[in-house]
Each structure stands twice: as structure tokens, then as C-alpha cells.
Chains A and B, each alone.
Chain A
């Protein structure tokens, strides 16, 4: 393109665009934000807006499209949700005052992880930005949510490769992840495991300070010891990345990050992403809807802050028995004290999202309505504290102490801002009467002016003798004097005609216009002053960010505790006994999600599992009979107990579990290019490699997705291995041969789902009772499904044959039966591999052998065969 022929405007645009190549640049032109070139094509497609083009002198037509400035937020939100990043380029000076072209610059780069605007955020979940760095053996991870001000760092070991890191990232479910060039190999797995946008972090200046210094500067402190992160070099590196990135994209947001905390993933029960998904903790398996997840059932929170905290609790069940019991004590107290609980929840209903409001106040984007909502929310604090007076449980007591009433701010806001302010910030109508004398003066001047105008009517009527002369107002002409046609002859000379209507004429006078100008001027000054005063009030409130954060966190926890109590009362849950024992004992347990959505009553079931005598429960029975539900309910009850909630059962004793493993269902992972069986083996391998004695393992059908004998043998071997690990395990399987294990191994107990056959149908009793199954109901289920009767008959015949085949070889003694089976199995394996003798035979080069050598070889081989009988010994 010929540089000489480019207009200054285009040059300005190009210069800015060069700095932001991978980002959609929105360029403010008059009342619109315009996009050019590829940006425009993309935007037009994603936003469904019209694409036009503009010629630039002699240059080729450039595609462009635009959106009106006042609606820009919603368009930006849409682009962000599609994974794009958007740079907003504003006019930096008043167009009226500009000399040549208006100065412009990028004020903001909006990325998924750095949004602050209410319309782009989901109230009930955090919006995390995560940065990842690596060092030998360690990953550093920093996570920030600028809308709430949370900022935390941690380090994760690399001993399991990137698995732990990926688990933690998927737990956080961030909107955006930052990676350096040298860690870019993590990009694919991160994208596979989460819905986050992965952004490459570009270090801005070559001479950027070392991470530690950078952070010290940001937090204005002398040392990082206060944050507990002095030695965590990888974590600090990640933290510095985050701060720098924010500086590049959203300067204002930095102000809301006033402190940093460290955490460790080892303080919580470990749940990998598969477990989270299979247990449907925060999302149902079927889709991304929140319906039919555990969270949807136990979330009765009244505030957005509470909802976010509950989600966090669900993702991080505790391991410390005392901490768990502290929570349970608080929940119990709120459960028995219906009056207090209802009071607290009523009050909480009037509390808005203090965390996000505060962040907007600090970032100077809060509106007058935000401030009023903020004050109204803070006003609820004393009554909430009162409702919790005399709480006996430690947690409630502590939380109550944290409820500070920031009287001075509330009073300031109430004094300064009217009760029902507008949303706009520059149009006045914000500041209350009596707050500022200068403002009051200006308003008085305006009112006085208007009274003068009103009185003008009477005066003019007398003066001119026009009895029905009227002084009126409209937005086009302002004030005017209206005289009906019949009276026009009485109109004095100094009246200047402005407008004619059907029955009247409208006039102005110089005096009238002078007063009107005075009124308008006063109004203008007043509006400006109001804006200034508002900003002052806003900054004053921003100073209390830390205190408000503390209060907000306390309110959030009170909300969560009372929500758990409310759910317990509503759904008939009981308080679990949580201790360090090795058992899980549940009486009449129910699946919390299924029972909520079921039309008929849920059939409860008992559970008893520990680390020795009843360690591996093998549950057999037909499909559709309730095995999966049973398995999941045991896991969910354990999890609920360890977050400090009551559980759906008559009684429950839970010995703390360090990790829940799940291997559930044939969930196809076609998207990641792996077959069902492969995935299953991966997950099983993970379990066998990582389970400890304190883990809880829930296996729903191992050995599907491959041939029956293979599957059975793998299932068998896995069961044996788990028995050695001694982790508490529930293993549902359709291989009822596994029932044999009860006799062979200590700790294995058989259970089955009961069904009853009646006339022509199967009744699912849904009761789990001790004992193995001797019958697989596969054929009956097929019949119910509608397989034609003739096929069913044939199947029954074949089944009879197969079963009699097996039994004829088996003998009375159970032990012998197993042995025979073992042999059969090994024969199968045998047949797959070539026997070593055959292999040797194959490899013999008989052309070079002498007869004697051949005979010797034959003798050797024969000896091999007769001695062993079978290979591998």
C-alpha cells in the first residue's frame, strides 16, 4: 500500500493495530466502534452484523463493520464467549478540542479471564485467570479472579507427569490460562480438559525485573513473607506473569488485587476430573446444564458469594476431621434452630454480591446504583449478627465476630446519594440535597430560574391582556410563550416568533432565553459537580476494600452453612459421624440427586465397607437394577460428609477418605481419539498406581469393551490387586464369576441387587442384599426391550448349552471349579501366544543341521514339552 496516499486516520489505525495483531481491535469513530480488515470479517460473522467496505483513496476496499458505542459491552461479551480477545481503542481527548485528528489509544484489552463487567459474568461461579510455569520437578500455578479480588498461588509436583496439574486446572475450570512459550506443550492437554482459552504470555519488556521484585513493587511491601510465599519460586514466577498480563490488559483491575495467598492441593480430598465428571458434582453428565447435579440439589444459597463458595467447597472436600466437625457443628446448630436460620436467610436475601461490587468500586467502574446496593447490603450486617447472637458452635461464633458494621461508609453513601439514583454517571440526579452546598446553590439557581419563568406567565397575561397566554416547555425549543391564533394581534413587538402550530403561535423573548441559558448552565455545572462528588465518594468507599472483603467472605460462609442446614431440613438428611476410622457405614442411604428427581419414593440401602473384613464389595445383578446408582450414592454421601454437610441417610459413619476414584460406565471418549476400552484401561491404571489404603474406589463394570474372557480376567486381576492395596472398594460387575473371589480372598464380600420375577415381568426391587448372583438377567432385559420372542427363545437355548458345557467340566468342589476355570483362561492366553517350542521349531535352520544335531534338538524339544506341560513355569 502506498504510504503517501493513506489518510492520517488510517495511519493511526494501522499503528495501533500493529501493536495488537492477534486481537480484534475496536476503533472508536464518532458514535461507533469500528473494526477493519480481518477483524471486521470475523466480527461480522460472529456478531451477525453487516459487513460493509470503505475505500481508502486509491487503496483497495477494506471491509469494515461497527457497533454503537453505548451497546459495545454486549458485543464484546459475545466475542469473548467465542474465545476471542478484544482491544478497545478509545478517543483519548475531547473531539472538540483536538487539533488534527483526535488522539486515540487502547484503554483496555478484554480477554475471557479479565472481564469485570457484570453482564459478562456468571454470578454463581468465579471467573478465573490461571498462569502456569514450570521448573524442574515443580509446576507453579497462580490463579486470580479480578471480579472478586481473589489471588492465590500454589506449587504442584511433577511426579505424576502433568496429571496433577491438569486435575487442579480442571477443578478451577478457568476462563483463560496463560502459558509461556517454553511451556506451550501443555496447551493441548489443557484445552482437552477444560473449556479455557489458552493465551501465550508475551513478556512485555526485555528488562523485566525478576518475579520477586516485581511482586514486591506491586504489593508495596518489603517482603513476601507475609503471604507465605517467600520460597516458592515457581509460584512467584506464575504470580508475576498474572500481574504483568493484567497490567497489559486491564490496568484498573490491578487495584482490586491487594493481597496474595498460598494454598496446597494436599489439604483436600483429591478428585480427578474423571471423578468430578462421573459423580456429576457441578454438572450433569448429559450436558453443560447445571440441572441434575449435586450442586443443583444442595445449593440453597441466598447470595452470589455464597453460591461461589459452596461450589468451591464441593470441589475441595476436607481431610481434617476437626475442621469437618467444626463445619458440621455449625450446620447442626442452624438446623435445629429454625427461627435463627430463617432470620439469617431472610436477611441474606437482601445482600447483593459485595465481592463483585467492591471490585467495581475499586476499578472505578461502579455506578451510583452499585453504591446504593452496596450500602443496602452492608446494612443487613447488624441484623445478621444479631440473629447469630449466642451461637455456641465455634465456626458460627468466629464468623459472627468477623461481621463488622462499617457504619461510616454506609452513612456516607446514604448521606451523599439519593435513594433511587439513575444508572448513568454524568447526567446528574445522583447526589442528595444538603450534601454539598455548592451543588445545592446551583440547583436552587435552576429552580429559581424556573419559578421566574412560571411567574412570567401571569406577568405577561396582565401586560398583554391575552387571557389564555401560556408559558410552556418542550425539549426541542426549550421555553416558549404560546398564544392562540385569535389573540395574535395583541402580541407585543419584542416577541420573536419561533414556531407555528394549528391553533397557536409560539414565541420567545430575549429575557426568557437569557434566563433559560442561565438555567441550562446551572444544570450543566450541577451535573459535572455531581459526577465529581460521586467519584470522590466512590474512592472513599474503595479504601475499605480489605475490610469489606473480610465481611463478604464471612457472609458467604454463613450463607453456605445455612444453605446446608436448610437442605438438611428440607430433604431429611442426618448428621454423619466423621472420624479417622477405616469404615464407611451407612444406614438407609439414598442418592441425593436421583431422589430429588424421582417421581416415586427412592428405595434406600445400607452400606458397610472397611479396610479389612469388608474391603471389596462385589455387587452383581442385572443392568438397570440400580447398581450404578448405589455405587454413586456411597461416593456422594462420603463426599458430602467431608465437606461438612448432612447426608441423605438415617445414619452414617464416615472414616475420612483421602481420594475418591471412579471408573464408571462406557463414556465414549471418541473426541480425544481413544477407544472406550483404552480409556477404561487408562483410568484403571491410574487407580492401581495411585490408590492408597485411605482411598475410596468405585468401579462400575471393568472389562467391558473387549472380549468376555479378556474382560473377566482383567477384572479378576484388578480385583486381586485392589484387595492388596486395601482401599475401600465397591465393584459393580456383570461377571458373576467374580463371586468366587469371596472364598479366595479375605475382605471380599458379595452383594446383589434383588429382582423378582412375576408372571411375565421383572420387578426391580432395588434392594441390595448380601450374597452373589447365579443368574444373569440379560435375556430378560432383552425381552423387556422388545427383542422378538423367537430370538429370545433361541438365546435361552444357547445359554443352556453354554452353561451345561461349563458345569460338566467342573466338579463339586468349588476349589476345583476355579482351578478348571483358571486353566481354561490360561489356555486361551496360551493360544494367543506362540508356544516357545513351536517358535524354536520355526526358527530352526534344518538345511544346516546334521542328523545328529537334529535328533538332539528333537530330544530337547520333547523334554521341554513333557516336563512343563504348560508354559511359563
Chain B
């Protein structure tokens, strides 16, 4: 590392001259806890650390502690490091051109110290003792010798304690922490020779050991299930080298969150790379789905402008064409040759083989995608090829459904490293439904026996008939009263229902809710029940089957959660099983009734499971797609 060799000088840190300092636009360095973490970790990396531990309390608002085993600082340097514009990393402006190290503005540590209570423990190998410094709002309050191993520990407490305005702008501890976790994960990916540990509230959230192999870091950060479906990427052109991993077409995401790019070890956003990636997957993915990618680019420093943004997350390439080409070709090669990720097995099937695309499918998909040469927009426009559209929608819906049941675990899984705020609804890249007012609604027709199409004053609506009905039924069940009770239809002959021991237990626990759901059910012997009546919405012949369906699902839920099924869960399941299914043809009257009933619901947008019921396209958006605005 460059800074290590520089530290052989007598004075390792120098004060930049005014001129140089002015050349650098300082900007706002410290916005929120993740900015602090970023700066401190970059310092650690520049110090040549091979082990970095980040400890966080309360999302960083209470405590941020970064410990490393880098070269450390001498006592004199430690004091100097807290002065503005002091850096060991560049000497003058001309050095800016050859930036290889990550932090260079000399802003970070003094800035952080000025708005927090900072403690630093550091030891350099040239001195027998370490140094401990305490700083409050920029002035040193304590300085002493201490026994310590080589390296530096920086503890930042009570961030923004003296700038209440900025403190107010911070989000919840969980949100702030999720940003930190994301960033530390990126560091771990970019530096496989450094081991990273991240703790929150004493609990270990990420542990990525330094094995030197990028794939191992990916396993830790993104999880082993994703890691198993990645193919390796490797390509080089003069002026740019691309390495990394991309997903097989079987693994897709609903947005770009899992596309992580690095340039010279620095995590960045860049439209050129994103576009080249999309281009390489052209025809392989259903619309609205994005691949997972972790790409590392090496570009000579003089061809990259890193000073574009104060937070250094955007960069500009001088050689855009080459970069685009390199990324595109590398990914293309990986996908077509299906290079397997190195696993223990020599004989195992290569995991990376993309499914062969039939000519028919290729035909459809080629009609589906018109690659948009303008890198400014990142969405694809699909013509109304109905069957392909429906197919894509179906796949999308399946994915959305599976993601919903996953969301509980994935978000908190250590491996994914990115705890997400719990939101059962996956992000849609359509305009949020609530921007469209549900006035003047008129049914247009039914699409593929699955969706009811309607228009409203503000635009077009696509309504999922099953979830809509589910919502309607659920609301009805909730409003159970004497009137509804008398509406239960009697069965001609009572039916005896024999269940297994575990099923009986579940039914016994929730007999009250099943009754409320409209099933007149009573115990009738050991592990046997007698059914006398069913909800009026059901046909009597269906009653037993639907009831058994409900019971089966309740047993599953109770097993999963190891507790008594929540009472509303019984109703949700009942509503779900009783509702009209996708694929059922509806006539005009039925559709009208459905939409009418739906609009009466308190929340017509989301079903009890959390899935969207209505998806809308505002007039403005529609017109824009046809280039009318």
C-alpha cells in the first residue's frame, strides 16, 4: 500500500497548502452514520489492515467503532490526524490525478471529530506504547499512553450531538443500520483479502473472512443460495479489466438492488455499466426482471474521475466505449459458455448453464424486447404481445409470491448482510397505485381469465380477480355478526370429518374462528368432527374439500411458527381458499359486482396477505409511453 511506504518519512502526515485544499471541493463529508463508517473503513484499508471490525449501536447514532490491524499511527501523527486538510495520502494537486487510495481529502477525521465524541487508540510498530486520545467537539480532552496491539481503533459516540438539526434528519436506527450493513457488505466484496466483521448491538451480523477468494465473500454477503447460481466473469481490454460474477438467467430480481459495481475497489453507481449488463441479458429474462451481478473493474486512475461527487459514489470514465464493451463482452461470454463457478467437485454439473432457449421462445422474447440505445432510461418497453405479456406477468407474480414468503427470513439472514425493513409488498416499478384516484371506475373486460381491466378518471386499472375477491371475503368474515350467522347454509347431511392427531389439535384450538368463518363444526369422537353448515358463499359440494384445504394450511402455518395460528390467519386462509381463482371466467355482471364490492373495502389496494390487488397506469404515464407528451 502506498501509504505504508510513505510512512518511512520522518513526518508522515503533512498539512496541505491552501491552494491544494481549495482545489478540492470539500462538500458535505459527513451526512449520516454510514458516511462515518465509510471514511473510517477506507482509512483502515489505506493503512494496510487485514482485519477490520465495525461495531454499531443504535444504527450508529449511539456508537460507531471501527477497529483495524493496519500500520497504526505514532503519537505525533495521531494528534496531527485531527487537523483539517492533513492527509498522508496526497502531497499536492498533481497527486489527485494518480489517486489509488480511497480517502484523500483530509476532511474525514477532523470533520467527524468536530461533531461527535471521539476516542482513538492507535499504535505504530516504531513505538513500544500505544496512544489513546479523547476528543470532544474537535478539541483533545485526554492524551495518554496505553498498551495496545498494532493498528487503530476509532470510537465515535453520540454523532451529531452538537448539531441537533442534522440529528433530526437521521432515520430510524434500523434504517441507518441497513445502510451501514449494505456498505460494509460492499467493502467485504471488494476486498477479499481483508476480513470484515460487522456487529449491531453486540450481535454479529456479518463475518467475511479473508480467504482471498471473491466467491467466499459473496457467500457471506449475499448468501449461499445466490452464490450457487452465479457464473464467473473475466475479460480484459486495453484500459479496462472486468472480473466478477453474474447470475444465471434462472435467478432474477425485481430491481437493481443486487447489482453491485466496483471500480478500483470503490463501490459506485454507473449507468454505462448497468446498461452494458442489461444489454448482455437481452432476451434471456422476463420483462421487469434484473440479473444479480457483482462486477469489479480495474481502470488506470488517470482515466477515471473520482472527484465527481463528494460522497465519491459516482465516477466518470474517459473511455466509456471501452468500458461498455468490456462489460458487455465479459458477461456475454460467461452466459453463453456457461462457465461453472469453481466448486469442490470436479465432476459436478456446471451450475451456470443457462437453460437452452427454444426458437419459439426466442421469437417471442425478441419481439418482447427492443433494446433502448439511450442509456438515460433503464426500462424496456414491451409491445402488447399479449401471450408473452401474460406469461411474463405470471412468472412475475409467482416470483413475487415466493418472495413474500421469503421476505421474513431473507431480510434477517446473516448471509444476505442487508437487513431490510420489513415490507411484505415487493417494490413495483410501476407508478405507485395510490397516485391514481379510484373515481369514475368502469369495467372494460377480463384479461386471460385472471385480471379485470377497468378504466378510471385518472388512468387504467388492472385488478387481480383472486386477491380482490379474497379481500372482499375477508372483510366480510371480519364483520361477522348474528345476521351472517343465520346465513350459514345447512348441509343436507352432516359430514363426518376424520383428521390426524395434529390436525385435530389445530382445529380444536381454532374452532371458534372456523365457526366465525362460517363453518358449523363440532367435535364428534376422537380426532373426528362433524360438519353441519358451511358459508353461504360456497357450494355445498365444495364445503368439505375447502375445509380440508383450510385445515391443511393451518397445520402448516402452526408447524412453521411453532405456535397457535393467529385468529386472523384462519380468516385469511378461509377467504383465500373460498375466493374465485385465477383462470375462472367471469361474466360482465360478476366483474361489475366484484369491482363494486372491492371499492367498498377499506383497503382495496392490498390483500390480507400483503399482495397488490390493483395495479394502475396513469393517463400521463400511458401518454408518455406513446410519446404524446
Q: Do A and B bind each other?
A: yes
Query: How far is B147's CA from A602's CA once the two chains are assembled, in angstroms?
Result: 10
- When distances are taken between beta carbons in the complex, the residues of chain B under 8 Å from A472 are 522, 524
User: Is B493 at the interface (CB under 8 A from chain A)?
Assistant: yes
Query: How far is B147's CA from A479's CA once the two chains are assembled, in angstroms?
Result: 82
With CB as the reference atom, state the residue of chain A lying closest to B207: A570
Q: Which residues of B, 207-239, contact A by the 8 Å Cβ criterion?
A: 207, 209, 211, 213, 215-216, 219-220, 224, 227-228
Which of A388, A450, A758 interacts with B496 by CB under 8 Å? A450
Query: How far is B500's CA from A420's CA once the two chains are assembled, in angstroms?
Result: 9
User: Is B525 at the interface (CB under 8 A from chain A)?
Assistant: yes
- When distances are taken between beta carbons in the complex, the residues of chain A under 8 Å from B528 are 447, 450
Binds A, one of B167-175, B255-263, B340-348, B470-478: B340-348
Query: How far is B345's CA from A451's CA once the two chains are assembled, in angstroms?
Result: 58
Which of A338, A422, A570, A765 interacts with B501 by CB under 8 Å? A422
User: Is A724 at the interface (CB under 8 A from chain B)?
Assistant: no
Contact B147 A765 (CB under 8 A): yes
- When distances are taken between beta carbons in the complex, the residues of chain A under 8 Å from B51 are 572
- When distances are taken between beta carbons in the complex, the residues of chain A under 8 Å from B522 are 472-473
- The distance from the CB of B611 to the nearest CB of chain A, in whole angstroms, is 29
Give the residue among B51, B146, B494 with the most A Cβ atoms within 10 A: B494
- The distance from the CB of B189 to the nearest CB of chain A, in whole angstroms, is 13
Contact A340 B148 (CB under 8 A): no
Chain A interface bracket (under 10, 10 to 19, 20 to 34, 35 or more): 35 or more
- When distances are taken between beta carbons in the complex, the residues of chain A under 8 Å from B420 are none
Q: Mark A437-455, 1 if CB is under 8 A from B, else 0.
A: 0000000000100110111
Q: Given A420-B500, A472-B522, A765-B128 in contact, is the A756-B67 Cβ separation under 8 Å?
A: no
Query: How far is B153's CA from A572's CA once the two chains are assembled, in angstroms?
Result: 18
User: Is B439 at the interface (CB under 8 A from chain A)?
Assistant: no
- When distances are taken between beta carbons in the complex, the residues of chain B under 8 Å from A519 are 525
- When distances are taken between beta carbons in the complex, the residues of chain B under 8 Å from A420 are 500-502, 559
User: Is B195 at the interface (CB under 8 A from chain A)?
Assistant: yes
User: Is B527 at the interface (CB under 8 A from chain A)?
Assistant: yes
Contact B148 A603 (CB under 8 A): yes
Contact B151 A388 (CB under 8 A): no
Contact A523 B526 (CB under 8 A): yes
User: Is B366 at the interface (CB under 8 A from chain A)?
Assistant: no
Chain B interface bracket (under 10, 10 to 19, 20 to 34, 35 or more): 35 or more
With CB as the reference atom, state the residue of chain B lying closest to A388: B344
With CB as the reference atom, state the residue of chain B lying closest to A455: B493
Q: Which residues of B, 501-525, contact A by the 8 Å Cβ criterion?
A: 501-502, 522-525
- The distance from the CB of B585 to the nearest CB of chain A, in whole angstroms, is 36
- The distance from the CB of A648 to the nearest CB of chain B, in whole angstroms, is 12
User: Is B144 at the interface (CB under 8 A from chain A)?
Assistant: yes
Q: Given A450-B524, A601-B149 in contact, is the A458-B494 Cβ separation under 8 Å?
A: yes
Give the residue among B67, B129, B207, B495 with the most A Cβ atoms within 10 A: B129
Contact A343 B224 (CB under 8 A): yes
User: Is B145 at the interface (CB under 8 A from chain A)?
Assistant: yes
Q: Which residues of A, 163-200, contact B by the 8 Å Cβ criterion?
A: none
- The distance from the CB of B389 to the nearest CB of chain A, in whole angstroms, is 38
Q: Mark A403-445, 1 if CB is under 8 A from B, else 0.
A: 0000000000000001111100000010000000000000000
Q: Given A339-B215, A420-B501, A454-B530 in contact, is the A570-B209 Cβ separation under 8 Å?
A: yes
Q: Mark A560-601, 1 if CB is under 8 A from B, else 0.
A: 000000000110100000000000000000000000000011
Contact B501 A454 (CB under 8 A): no
- When distances are taken between beta carbons in the complex, the residues of chain B under 8 Å from A388 are 344
- The distance from the CB of B7 to the nearest CB of chain A, in whole angstroms, is 20
Q: Which residues of A, 382-413, contact B by the 8 Å Cβ criterion?
A: 387-391
User: Is A826 at the interface (CB under 8 A from chain B)?
Assistant: no
Contact A454 B500 (CB under 8 A): no
- The distance from the CB of A592 to the nearest CB of chain B, in whole angstroms, is 16
Which of B215, B344, B496 interacts with A390 by CB under 8 Å? B344
Contact A473 B148 (CB under 8 A): no
- When distances are taken between beta carbons in the complex, the residues of chain B under 8 Å from A523 are 526
Query: How far is B344's CA from A390's CA once the two chains are assembled, in angstroms?
Result: 6
With CB as the reference atom, state the residue of chain A lying closest to B210: A572
Q: Which residues of A, 328-350, contact B by the 8 Å Cβ criterion?
A: 333, 335-340, 342-343
Contact B496 A451 (CB under 8 A): yes
Contact A339 B149 (CB under 8 A): no
Which of A390, A421, A473, A767 interacts with B525 by CB under 8 Å? A473
Contact B149 A604 (CB under 8 A): yes
Contact B148 A601 (CB under 8 A): yes
Query: How far is B147's CA from A756's CA once the two chains are assembled, in angstroms?
Result: 9
Main secondary structure on chain B at its contact with chain A? mixed
Contact B348 A390 (CB under 8 A): yes
Which of A338, A391, A419, A451 interacts with B220 by CB under 8 Å? A338
- When distances are taken between beta carbons in the complex, the residues of chain A under 8 Å from B336 are none
- When distances are taken between beta carbons in the complex, the residues of chain A under 8 Å from B149 are 601-604
User: Is B498 at the interface (CB under 8 A from chain A)?
Assistant: yes
With CB as the reference atom, state the residue of chain B lying closest to A390: B345
Q: Which residues of B, 439-498, contact A by the 8 Å Cβ criterion?
A: 492-496, 498
With CB as the reference atom, state the residue of chain B lying closest to A764: B147
Query: How far is B505's CA from A421's CA once the two chains are assembled, in angstroms?
Result: 12
Q: Given A338-B219, A454-B496 in contact, is the A389-B530 Cβ separation under 8 Å?
A: no
Contact A336 B213 (CB under 8 A): yes
- When distances are taken between beta carbons in the complex, the residues of chain B under 8 Å from A572 are 51, 195, 209
Contact B345 A389 (CB under 8 A): yes
Query: How far is B469's CA from A138's CA once the two chains are assembled, in angstroms?
Result: 84
User: Is A457 at the interface (CB under 8 A from chain B)?
Assistant: yes
Which of A339, A453, A764 interacts with B224 by CB under 8 Å? A339
Q: Mark A59-103, 1 if CB is under 8 A from B, else 0.
A: 000000000000000000000000000000000000000000000
Query: How far is B228's CA from A209's CA once the two chains are assembled, in angstroms?
Result: 63
- The distance from the CB of A518 to the nearest CB of chain B, in whole angstroms, is 12
Contact B525 A450 (CB under 8 A): yes
Query: How far is B347's CA from A389's CA once the two chains are assembled, in angstroms?
Result: 9
Contact B498 A763 (CB under 8 A): no
Query: How far is B219's CA from A422's CA once the two chains are assembled, in angstroms?
Result: 40
- The distance from the CB of B410 to the nearest CB of chain A, in whole angstroms, is 15
- When distances are taken between beta carbons in the complex, the residues of chain B under 8 Å from A107 are none
Contact A767 B526 (CB under 8 A): no
Query: How far is B530's CA from A392's CA once the two chains are assembled, in angstroms?
Result: 61
Contact B346 A473 (CB under 8 A): no
Contact B153 A390 (CB under 8 A): no
- When distances are taken between beta carbons in the complex, the residues of chain B under 8 Å from A763 are 129, 144-147
Query: How far is B562's CA from A227's CA once the two chains are assembled, in angstroms?
Result: 47
User: Is A158 at the interface (CB under 8 A from chain B)?
Assistant: no
Contact B524 A473 (CB under 8 A): yes
User: Is A754 at the interface (CB under 8 A from chain B)?
Assistant: yes
Query: How far is B343's CA from A337's CA once the two chains are assembled, in angstroms?
Result: 8
Contact A458 B500 (CB under 8 A): no
With CB as the reference atom, state the residue of chain B lying closest to A336: B211
- The distance from the CB of B65 to the nearest CB of chain A, in whole angstroms, is 11
Query: How far is B494's CA from A653's CA once the two chains are assembled, in angstroms?
Result: 80
Contact B500 A429 (CB under 8 A): yes
- The distance from the CB of A424 to the nearest CB of chain B, in whole angstroms, is 10
Query: How far is B147's CA from A754's CA once the two chains are assembled, in angstroms?
Result: 9
Write 8 A-B pairs (CB below 8 A) sorted by A numbering: A338-B215, A420-B559, A454-B493, A457-B494, A572-B51, A601-B151, A756-B128, A756-B145
The 10 closest A-B pairs by CB, nearest first: A390-B345, A765-B147, A338-B216, A569-B209, A420-B502, A429-B501, A389-B345, A766-B147, A603-B149, A454-B496
